[in-house]
Amino acid sequence: MVSSSSGFVAALTVAAVATVGVLAYQASATAPASFGGRPHAGAAPSVSVSAAPRARRDPKALPVGSGRGERVVYAVGTDRVWLVEADGRVRRTFEVLPGDVDPRPGTYAVTSRSNAVTGSDGRPIQHVVRFTAVDGVTIGFSTAVGEPTGAPDPDAKTGGIRESRADGEAMWQFATIGETVVVVR
């Protein structure tokens, strides 16, 4: 009797967890795009910022609901970036290594760029493309080019989203001031 009761309780638990997951997904899919992000005032219309479904057979596929037109798409859940042409073709996609602070889902625009600076972690970086800030931490794409110039502050939060040199060069050429950046989960 104990084992059948345990099996029944386990089945109820699985059903309850699945139901809560479906309801949470439905709620996030219907929430206004303004929740969770600070969209750029002049950016294109908001996009859905719920979980970004992709073709199950191709994890590199552009997330559904990631906007229209020329844009950079960044999926924080998979640490992947897509550079998308005006006609919707993906010019390039690549993996990135994020910092400690993730941008909130939403639509932004590139606000500033720097060819070469020192990152918040003390490393020389190049091709810095910034698009938002979260709690005072600047968020942007960059490429590390050398060893740290000093010990990084262990309490400092970093917002750099690091790319390889080739990917950083492609981002630098593509994402000029004002370019749309769409962040999805």
We report the CATH number of the domain holding residue 120 as 2.40.440.10
pLDDT at 146: 82
Give the residue numbers spanning the domain of 87.
Answer: 71-184
pLDDT at 37: 36
In a domain, 57, yes or no: no
pLDDT at 51: 45
Strands (E), the chain: 71-75, 80-84, 90-95, 106-109, 112-118, 124-134, 137-144, 160-162, 180-184
In a domain, 82, yes or no: yes
**How much is the pTM?**
0.70
Q: Which residues of 44-55 are buried (b: 16+ CB within 10 A; e: fewer)?
A: bebbbbbbbebe
Residue spans of the chain under pLDDT 50? 8-52, 54-55
pLDDT at 147: 82
pLDDT at 124: 94
pLDDT at 108: 98
In a domain, 31, yes or no: no
CA atoms within 13 A on the CB side of 19: 6
In a domain, 47, yes or no: no
Token pair listed for 156 = 């400092």
